[in-house]
Amino acid sequence: MKRTIKFLGYWTSCLLILVLTGCAMSTPQNDYTNTTMDFSAIKSVAVLPFQNLTSDDQAAERVRDSFMGMLLASEAFYVLPSGEVNRGISRAGLRTPSTPMVDEIKSISKILEVQAVITGTLREYGTVRSGSAEANLVSLSLQMMETETGTVIWSASSTRGGISVGDRLLGGGGQPMNKVTEQVVNDLLDKLFK
Amino acid sequence: MIFLINFSNNRICLLLLALLLLTGCAQLEQEKTEPLTMKGMDVAWQGPPKARLGALRCSFKTSGGSGQLTFTLQSSKAGIATIEHRGEESSWEWSAKEPGLYRLKATATDETGAVVDSGWSDEYRFEPPVGSSSLYAVLPVDNISAAKAPLKEIHQALLDALTAKGFQVLDQETLEAFMEKNRVRYTGGVSADIGKKLHDDAGVDGIFITSLETWQDSGPPKVSLITRVDLAGEWPEILWIDSVGLTGDDRPGLLGLGKIKNADELLGKGVDSLAGSFHLYLQGGYPTCRLAGDRQEMSMVNSGNKTADFFGAGIKRQHRPHFTYRSPDFDPAGRYTVAVVPFLNVEARKYAGEVVALHFVKQLSRYENLRVVEPGLVRETLLQYRMIMEAGPSLASSDILADKNILGADLVLSGKVFDYQGVQGMSKVDFSVQAFDGPKREVIWTSRSYAAGNDGVYFFDAGSVPSAHGLTTRMSKAVVDMLEE
């Protein structure tokens, strides 16, 4: 009897450790928010062109346009129009606008009169296949830098879409790409404003 | 007590007291102001009784009232009253943008809040600036279909349809000679110089500008045209604009017997409906959107069923923008001059940016409180100032378009087109829109719209939109409705 209780206790402890580590692994802490930063001081932001790591040449521009529109629609910041951002990039002489250096951020912020700059990397934008099932997938990571010092004050990433259990069982091509893009952007905005 | 008795017994003192009281009352009477009254409103024509060309001079006569008076001039058309002017001036000149019958009413308010009005005036008819007897120049068709098309035949079909309706058209030899002499190559718009020369040298009153949006001969045939009429002169203004988008599969009917397999037949139907729509404008029956001041919402004057594009009828939830932003400072009831810049073509077919921009020109022109700058003038300005907009307009380019000495645009509308498919397979359109407030230098509107012709279609293609033209008409109308609501 004593041996059975000891055996049960041993297995319960193992199960508990597994459950706890499993939970810890399911929510990776990839996101960063500078807790000392006063985000209310940011009135206007410039969204620089995103770095495109996908095979679709215009995918980054599509996602950036959606992000800029949805960020403006949130009414949290005033988002500079892309034409104005482009003018700032030309005037500041940014060589790689998607990955600017600290000096370049300071320089462009003076031209555009913004308190923060957002850069992004589009990691996935396309269709994924598994067997006969296929679906659209978008993966995006963003960084916000304040322009006084050029430090990163917020960073987050999100991946949406992909093949669901329903897609595997019933077929279908998943959700339209624009819909998946909106989901990714919504997820990132939720992380920014939480 | 004894003093009072002595005082009352003294007649002189009593007389003095009575005099004092009376003069006091008189002063009080003087301080009391005369009530505010409206004695009338004088209305007189300034120039010809034509919309845009002529105006009504309205002078208000009032008396009394306390302090500074504020006047409001209202106009009423088809029972929809809207405020035209508000200010301290007691005389205004007002011109109607669209032809029709108008009544006017003046309201005066003083500083105490007293309000009087003149009552509605008699009806004043604003005729269209051009008529059936006017001379029209029909410019050759501008091909923005990104495909080869029989442009001469389309042009001839349009000329035939217009002459059949009784319009006087400048003969083609004279027009060609004029174009050769003035080196006119671009026919998708009119510059200020060409507009003036057409009026002064060729005696033209109106200019037909036609853009071919889609052309497909077979399998099934597809034809889409966007046509507008500009007032010839130094400042060409859009008087009327409409579009038509037809496919052979629009009404297949039972066993496909209703299908049209000949592109020329479609073209004939298209140009007939455009000529009919312009005829409707001249009769004063063309639909416009007008702000109903009492309800603070846009109301439509005349039915939209008779236009060539059916006024963007059949807008469903899927045609509305997926997200929008409208600045809280933007007043949709205001009067604005709008410049529509060709949309940036991100990944769509050639000329898709021009096509979507023209759809917005069409939708915005139908609002009485908006004056849309002729796209030819916008193009001329962009070329003159060498504005190359790789990522849409910047504030600097918006400043140029908003300059009172250049275009004087209060709003600059632009956007990006990501997808525009309509020739093969199901139609699909994806674009974003952005509007700047020129003087305030800020974005007042952003939206993103995308839809496919078979969105929300489940049974036997019922409710599908086979042409990209039809889809863009609905989507652009949905955007403008939300911008102006």
Please choose, from the candidates B143, B407, B157, the residue with its C-alpha nearest in 3D space to the C-alpha of residue B272: B157
Distance (Å, rounded) from C-alpha B420 to C-alpha B349? 6
Per-residue model confidence (pLDDT) at position B20 = 60
Closest CB to A86: pick one of B323, B394, B448: B394
Closest CB to A62: pick one of B322, B346, B390: B346
* B211, two tokens: 């853009």
Contacts of A83 in chain B (CB under 8 A): 389, 391-395, 397, 414
Annotated domain spans of chain A = 30-193
Low-confidence ranges of chain A (pLDDT < 70): 1-8, 14-29
Angle between helices A59-73 and A177-193 (to 10 degrees): 50
Could you tell me if A62 lies within 8 Å of chain B, comparing CB atoms?
yes
ipTM of the complex: 0.82
The DSSP secondary structure of B132-167, one letter per residue, reads TTSEEEEPPPEE-SSS---HHHHHHHHHHHHHHTT-
Per-residue model confidence (pLDDT) at position A2 = 61
Tell me how far CA of residue B20 lies from CA of B13, B15, B24, B32, in angstroms.
Answer: 11, 9, 6, 19
Q: β-strand B206-216 against B135-138: which pairing, if any?
A: parallel
Per-residue model confidence (pLDDT) at position A27 = 45
Burial class for B464, CB neighbours closer than 10 Å (0-12, 13-18, 19+): middle
Instruction: Identify the bridge partners of residue B80 per DSSP, sorted by sequence position.
Output: B77
Could you tell me if B447 lies within 8 Å of chain A, comparing CB atoms?
yes
Please choose, from the candidates A59, A121, A114, the residue with its C-alpha nearest in 3D space to the C-alpha of residue A96: A121
Burial class for B133, CB neighbours closer than 10 Å (0-12, 13-18, 19+): exposed
Phi-psi region of B164 (alpha: psi -120 to 50; beta: other; left: phi over 0): alpha
Per-residue model confidence (pLDDT) at position A137 = 95
Low-confidence ranges of chain B (pLDDT < 50): none
CB atoms A75 and B390 under 8 Å: no
Per-residue model confidence (pLDDT) at position B6 = 60
pLDDT one-digit tens code per residue, A142-152: 999 999 989 99
Per-residue model confidence (pLDDT) at position B242 = 96
Verdict on whether the full-model pTM lies above 0.90:
no
Residue A107 main-chain phi, psi, to 5 deg: -65, -45
pLDDT one-digit tens code per residue, B228-237: 999 999 899 9
CATH homologous superfamily of A30-193 equals ABC-type transport auxiliary lipoprotein component (3.40.50.10610)
A 162-181: CB under 8 A from B: 176, 178
The single-letter DSSP state of residue A70 is H
* B273, two tokens: 């409906």
Please choose, from the candidates B415, B321, B312, the residue with its C-alpha nearest in 3D space to the C-alpha of residue B366: B312
Contacts of A178 in chain B (CB under 8 A): 322, 430, 448, 450
Per-residue model confidence (pLDDT) at position A26 = 45
Contacts of B432 in chain A (CB under 8 A): 65-66, 69
